[in-house]
Structure 1
Amino acid sequence: MTESAAMAGTRDACFEFRGATQTLTVLELRYFDMEMFEKNLRDKIRQAPNFFRDLPLVIGLDQYEGNLADLDFFQLIGCCRTHSIQVLGVRGGDEDVRRLARNASLAWLPAGRAGHPLPDPAEGDTAEAATEAHADSDAAPGAGKVVTQPVRSGQQVYAPEGDLIIMAPVGAGAEVLAAGHIHIYGPLRGRALAGVHGDSNASIFCQSLEAELVSVAGHYKISEDLQDSGWREPARVRLNGDALVVDPLGR
């Protein structure tokens, strides 16, 4: 027996599986034309240069109108990687799509299993990207979470149940997520994602709307879309049907 094998025999298992909730962007593909796909992708990225940098992406096929058997996932992957977007998997389709995805080394998810389309528009601080601001929060089971300290670039705060209340600013490059409402008693300069499990009645409240991205139940707007209504003012972000709207607070 080698020394390394002997040492391994006296230690715990070198890994364990854990369930985790992650936000993933779903690209809902309606049809595929390589030239048009790349043009549309470039146009999206041009809106905010760091919007999709190193973004993990799932290709959604629920709305696809063409012949799924003709899809070339290698072309899709190559185009996305050219723009620093990492395709992780495919959602929807039949057994033929599952086989095509496997051949392209992509994960396959049944329809409706990839979560909500939640893009990440900011680069953030890579040295702190995995840091979560648990130390600054108080939580009770089912009662949401209260954060009393600023949420800084690269930090993520997540309330998997109930509302998230932040008694401080949310900085650029930070991300806050909640199953219910999000209340921010300060400026919102990072990303805020409410109703992440699909609650369309959730809202985002903030004292100054300066966000990189806001999302409710998977419907989102980036900063360029927000600057015509409520920008740098107290605001509520909510869903009206399938449209995300911004209402001034106090009216």
Structure 2
Amino acid sequence: MSLAFAASSGIRLAGRSFLAFVLEPMPPVAGWLADLDAVASQSLSFFANRPVVLNLARLEPDREETNAIIDALKLRNIRVIAVEGVDPSWVDPSLAPLGSGKETGKVVDFPNAAPRAQARPAAPAATPKGSTTIDRPVRSGQSIFHPEGDVIVLGSVSSGAEIIAGGSVHVYGTLRGRVLAGATGNPGALIFCRKYQAELVSIDGSYMTAEQSPPELIGKPVQIRLRNDAIVADILD
């Protein structure tokens, strides 16, 4: 027997995946927050409007410490959408653990952060499925998100613009904004640009800010890759 139901015209349900940063504080928390401030100062809009999952499993805080960390992130305008690794009753119900979320990338290590007590097993590299081409400049405030593969930009990427790709990123103009390649767990991703002036570049979680970039790269055609979890930049002839 088949039963037919009239479709509702007022409510539509759809699924959507999105990219969120995962922050994992390490002791001492004061030092970790100082490292976080340093990263934010190097790229002022790095966390702007970016959903963040706060994982406190390694820190093992009590209830008071948990809420102190959440408050510290709020003061920094970091938008926490969920808290993991603690008793859910300790936090606001709106910050309940995501539960079934699947981790696809590695944690970003902040400069001068305390070493991890135990290394996390490497996630299997995701295989990009396809590429997308942007045939116009990417302007300040715009964000391009393509988790399935490479992103090719035929123009320039302005300061304040952002490209996030599961694969490699090719910019056939000046790169002034932020590029996160291999964002879904692909350490073999590459970043190419005709003229390097980037605010931030990242591959599979490892990153380099403008202040960390060697001055000889500025204004040059550059290829960026990952080697032993470190960013390596080569000037192209």
TM range (shorter): 0.7 to 0.9
Q: Distance in 1 between matches of 2:129 and 2:76?
A: 40
Shift of 1:50: 4.2
The reply on whether 1:183 has 2:145 as its aligned counterpart is no
Alpha-carbon displacement from aligned partner over 1:171-211 (angstroms, at most 9, x marks no partner)? 11222222211111111111111112111001000001111
Cα contact 1:194–1:215 (8 A) shared by 2? yes
Instruction: Pick from 49, 61, 76 the counterpart of residue 69 of structure 2.
Output: 76
Unaligned segments of structure 1, at least 5 residues? 1-9, 119-140
Rounded Cα–Cα distance in structure 2 between residues aligned with 1:46 and 1:176: 20
Deviations 1:87-143 (A, max 9, x none): 22224x3xxx1424544641314598355457xxxxxxxxxxxxxxxxxxxxxx943
> 1:249: Cα distance to partner?
1.4
Write the distance in 1 (CA, Å) between the matches of 2:60 and 2:192: 43
Residue 25 of structure 1 and its aligned partner are, at CA, apart by: 2.3
Q: One-letter code of the match for 1:233?
A: K
> 1:202 maps to what in 2?
189
- How many residues align? The count is 213
Instruction: Report the alpha carbon displacement of residue 16 of structure 1 after superposing the two structures with TM.
Output: 2.2
CA contact (8 A) 1:55 1:84 kept: no
Question: 1:12 & 1:28 partners in 2: Cα distance?
Answer: 43
Match of 1:108 among 97, 107, 122: 97
1-side partners of 2:184 and 2:160: how far apart? 22
1-structure distance, mates of 2:56, 2:182 = 23
2:25 counterpart residue number: 29
Contact 1:236 1:247 in 2 (8 A): yes
Q: AA paired with 1:78?
A: D
SS of 2:156's partner is coil
Task: Give yes or no for contact 1:170–1:186 (8 Å, CA) kept in 2.
Answer: yes
Find the residue that maps to 1:215 and give its secondary structure: strand
When normalised by structure 2's length, the TM-score is 0.75
Q: Deviations over 1:152-185 (max 9, x none)?
A: 1222223332322111111112222222111111
* Aligned partners of 2:45 and 2:160 also within 8 Å: no
The residue that corresponds to 2:117 in the other structure is: none
Given that 2:26 and 2:32 are in contact with CA atoms closer than 8 Å, whether structure 1 keeps it comes out as no
Percent identity at matched positions?
Answer: 33
More helix by share: 1
The equivalent residue for 1:132 is none
Equivalent residue, structure 1, for 2:88: 99
After TM superposition, the score normalised by the length of structure 1 is: 0.71
One-letter amino acid matched to 1:221: M
Q: For 1:14 and 1:157, how far apart are their aligned partners in 2? A: 28
The equivalent residue for 1:60 is 55
Mark the runs of 5 or more structure 2 residues left unpaired by the alignment. 1-6, 109-127
Shift of the 145–54 alpha-carbon distance from structure 1 to 2, 3 Å rule, reads closer
Give the 3 Å change call, closer, same or farther, for CA 38–174 of structure 1 in structure 2.
Answer: closer
